Amino acid sequence: MKDRLEQIREEVRTQIEAAGTLEKLNEVRVSALGKKGALTEVLKGMKNVAAEERPKIGQMVNETRAQIEAMLDETKKRMEAAVREARLKEEVIDVTLPAKKNQIGHRHPNSIALEEVERIFVGMGYEVVEGPEIESDYYNFEALNIPKGHPTRDEQDTFYINDEIVLRTQTSPVQVRVMEQGKLPIRMIAPGRVFRSDEVDATHSPSFHQIEGMVIDKHITFADLKGTLQEFARELFGEETRVKFRPHHFPFTEPSAEVDVSCFKCGGKGCRFCKGSGWIEILGCGMVHPRVLKMSGIDPEEYSGFAFGIGLERIALLKYEIDDMRLLYENDIRFLKQF
């Protein structure tokens, strides 16, 4: 019996040594110590052993079992340590490597300029509103006193979706939409994208941005318009900025004007930037035409107001001294990073 037990132990030892993985080792454990294992076989054979021999043999079986268990446990520990070691080696982080630089985006000059303009007008109590880019002929033209056949329609080369629907050529239709809501007084700006069928060059693009402005209340005069835009120009371009109103014509305002600011580069002496004139044009404006008020349900006898339209790209180009509008649309990060 002693020989048989020794034989079993040595067989298991060989199997343990051959087991390369934890799974294989577990299989050895089951086949050696399990219900169908060799040791169990020996115990089952006990009934054929004389009664006085049984305790001795039982003890021998237990000793063998303990030896096998010890071998299994020791091997298991060694294997687990090896697995852990391998994993640590694989997962090692070299903290001395230089970090990868994350390329993050950058704010666009248009966005920076728009925020600046919004900040100024919100500071004067204006609300910022938006209107649709796909607009009806009525809001884009008709309600702004630009009937069919009006020459202004030719000046603004329009993308027509059909006879009645256009891509808005200006943000002025937002004026009409706000007036129609009938909540007075009105003090709003409306920034947004507009579209004109223009060829791309240094100063033109088929899609650009405007910021519309409108104030409607009792007793609003041209003096209010002048004071407001003068203050706006000073905040945007600096305290020293002077403002000039040149008579102009827009169908939806009467009287109308274009506004020039003194060149912030040369202070008005004349330079390359202002093409020698000392002045730079920044926007169009005027007193809202009584017919426009009436069409939107506001009584021109009781209310009056002014409106203005600013080209956002023009402000961005001026403020950041960019000489080609196309740069604003290419979104080259090396360009954008500079602002």
> Should residue 293 be labelled a site residue for ligand DAH when binding is judged by CB under 6 A?
no
Distance, in Å, from the CA atom of 8 to the CA atom of 14, rounded to the nearest integer, reads 10
Of 29 and 196, which has the nearer Cβ to ligand DAH? 196
Site residues (CB under 6 A) for ligand DAH, limited to 186-245: 212
Q: Which of 64, 75, 110, 172 binds ligand DAH (CB under 6 A)?
A: 172
Q: Which of 280, 286, 314, 317 binds ligand DAH (CB under 6 A)?
A: 286
Distance, in Å, from the CA atom of 81 to the CA atom of 86, rounded to the nearest integer, reads 9
232 — alpha (psi -120 to 50), left (phi > 0) or beta? Answer: alpha
Count CB atoms within 10 A of the CB of residue 237: 20
Of 61 and 288, which has the nearer Cβ to ligand DAH? 288
Distance, in Å, from the CA atom of 169 to the CA atom of 212, rounded to the nearest integer, reads 12
> Should residue 284 be labelled a site residue for ligand DAH when binding is judged by CB under 6 A?
yes
> Should residue 304 be labelled a site residue for ligand DAH when binding is judged by CB under 6 A?
no
Binding segment (CB under 6 A) for ligand DAH, from list 37-45, 63-71, 182-190, 278-286:
278-286
Of 212 and 313, which has the nearer Cβ to ligand DAH? 212
Q: How many residues in the chain?
A: 339
Of 75 and 253, which has the nearer Cβ to ligand DAH? 253
Q: Which of 178, 309, 315, 318 binds ligand DAH (CB under 6 A)?
A: 309
Residue 136, token pair as written in the block: 């009806």
Q: Which of 145, 253, 262, 296 binds ligand DAH (CB under 6 A)?
A: 253
Please state the closest distance from residue 212 (CB atom) to ligand DAH, in A: 6
Please state the closest distance from residue 253 (CB atom) to ligand DAH, in A: 4
> Should residue 121 be labelled a site residue for ligand DAH when binding is judged by CB under 6 A?
no
Q: Which of 75, 145, 170, 262 binds ligand DAH (CB under 6 A)?
A: 170
Distance, in Å, from the CA atom of 245 to the CA atom of 241, rounded to the nearest integer, reads 13
Please state the closest distance from residue 309 (CB atom) to ligand DAH, in A: 2
Please state the closest distance from residue 106 (CB atom) to ligand DAH, in A: 29
Q: Which of 211, 285, 317, 322 binds ligand DAH (CB under 6 A)?
A: 285
Binding segment (CB under 6 A) for ligand DAH, from list 6-14, 33-41, 122-130, 282-290:
282-290
Give the binding site for ligand DAH (CB under 6 A): 170, 172, 212, 250, 253, 284-286, 307-309
